[in-house]
Amino acid sequence: MDFKFTEEQVMIRDAADAFLLAEADSAAVRTAMASELGYDPAFWRALCDQMYWHVAHIPEQYGGLGLGYVELCIVMQAMGKRLACAPFFSTVALAANGLLLAGNEAQREQWLPRIAEGQTATLAFHGGGRAWDATAVSGEFTGSGDTYTLNGDYCYVVDGHSADLLLIAARNSQDQHELALFMLDADTAGIERQWQATMDQTRKQASLSLSNVTVAGNARLAGCQADGSTLDTLLDLACIALAAEQCGGTDAILRQAVAYTQEREQFGRTIASFQAIKHKAADIALKSEVAMSAVFYAACVADEYLAGSAGDGELAAQLPEAAAMAKAYCSDAYFFAAGNAMQMYGGVGFTWEYDAHLYFKRAKSSEVLLGNGAWHRERIATGLLGPANGGET
């Protein structure tokens, strides 16, 4: 037991903070978020070519660095601090994780090197409605063996309008209980993609419409469990990465708001000297610390999960709960922090000019994405208390 960063991890963190301080300042974020693409391709190239973040936790045989999930979360946290705009979460935490979980050797060798080259990717699974697990999949596939055809509408696809590669979840049109994952090029015939403008402009969403999209048999990821459990595990891993980002945002907005209150004077004092302001900051600081523990506990669990054969080990078995705890806690902590920070800023906090609203909107969008606090708490409640409504769910 040694629950602190190693020296190497501290170096990774410091390097990440320094890189993003230079490359993802407020002006850069504002330029990127105003574009439909949503990020600066030069920044993405720098992130890949200089920092190798996109392959941090991808095993070395596929062109990656072979680091762990803790390291990935350190990077996510750093990006969350700066609201850095890049197709990083979608490419790494959604698509690459999907390949690691469900691709066979050949499929990993087919696709992961393309990610390592800097191509972007994402996951499309959500068919609408209020659920954020495998039950949300409504797209369908037909066929078997050599060729499959995909149909359906997908929403809330992160970076879906710009990704080079798509990981698609779909149900067997003949048997709704059979769920599969397909990896394909985004320019495959029959795919229409539409950018959806979002309240949080720093992360882009798209809707996808698939009409008779035909793919070869090997597009179907071989290791995907038909019962949806693989997709749920993928979403758990994504939750942990997203929670790390939220944790970074919580810390950053706290520090920025505190710095502002140290300068701003009212009634002849800095407003930081008012107990109401101090106690708001202290309450955020508490949540920020606990969020940090939640994220890196969950990251350790994810590390063990990905290291062992899936499901082995006491710690690895905690993945669903660890992910739910991290996402529930960090979602609420971030929104709490960003909302209270805006109050600490006072009038300037709700102007476009100051960055407080960017954090506030990001807090809300990442709270909703992959399920909010109540959603994940109910998952945990089911484990502790049995299903709601006496099992009728």
Partner 1 sequence: MKLSFDTADEQFRTEIAGWLANNLSGEFETIRFRGGPGDEHMFGEERKRWEQQMAQGGWTCVGWPEEYGGRGLSIEQQVIFHEEYARAGGPGRVGHIGEGLAGPTIIEFGTAEQKQKYLPGIRNGTELWCQGYSEPSAGSDLANVKTKAEYDQGRQAWCISGQKVWTSLAHESDWCFVIARTDPQSQRHHGLGFFLVNMHQPGVEVRPITQLTGTSEFNEVFFDQALAEDILGEPGEGWKIGMALLGFERGVSTLGQQMAFQNELDEIIALARRNGAAQEPDIRQRISEAHIGLRLMRYNAMRMLSGPADGSLDSAALVYKLHWASWHRSLGKLAMDVLGSEGELLMEPPYELSRLQSLFLFTRSDTIYGGTNQVQRNIIAERGLGMPKEPRG
Sorted by sequence, the CB contacts under 8 Å of residue 391 that are 6+ apart come out as: none
Torsion of CA 172, 178, 183, 188, to 10 degrees: 10
189 makes contact, choosing from a second copy, partner 1, none, with CB < 5 to 8 Å by partner type, with none
Sorted by sequence, the CB contacts under 8 Å of residue 125 that are 6+ apart come out as: 134, 136, 137, 139, 154, 168, 169, 231
CB of 120 to partner 1, least distance (A): 20
Nearer to partner 1, 117 or 265 (CB): 265
Nearer to partner 1, 106 or 348 (CB): 348
CB of 107 to partner 1, least distance (A): 30
CB of 155 to a second copy, least distance (A): 24
Residue 87 dihedral angles phi and psi, to the nearest 5°:
-80, 45
CA atoms 324, 326, 330, 332: torsion sign: positive
Contact 79, 136 (CB under 8 A): no
314 makes contact, choosing from partner 1, a second copy, none, with CB < 5 to 8 Å by partner type, with partner 1
Looking at 2, 177, 389, 390, which residue binds a second copy (CB under 8 A)?
389
Nearer to partner 1, 174 or 196 (CB): 196
21 makes contact, choosing from partner 1, a second copy, none, with CB < 5 to 8 Å by partner type, with none
CB of 373 to a second copy, least distance (A): 18
381 makes contact, choosing from partner 1, a second copy, none, with CB < 5 to 8 Å by partner type, with partner 1
CB of 392 to a second copy, least distance (A): 9
Whole-number Å distance between alpha carbons of 92 and 322: 20
Sorted by sequence, the CB contacts under 8 Å of residue 76 that are 6+ apart come out as: 88, 89, 93, 241, 242, 244, 245, 248
Give the closest residue to 237 by CA, choosing from 159, 301, 315, 309: 301
Whole-number Å distance between alpha carbons of 393 and 90: 31
Instruction: Please report whether residue 279 would count as binding a second copy according to CB under 8 A.
Output: yes
Residue list 237-276, contact with a second copy (CB under 8 A): 274-276
54 makes contact, choosing from partner 1, a second copy, none, with CB < 5 to 8 Å by partner type, with none
Nearer to a second copy, 5 or 274 (CB): 274
- Interacting residue ranges for a second copy, rule: CB under 8 A: 274-276, 279, 389
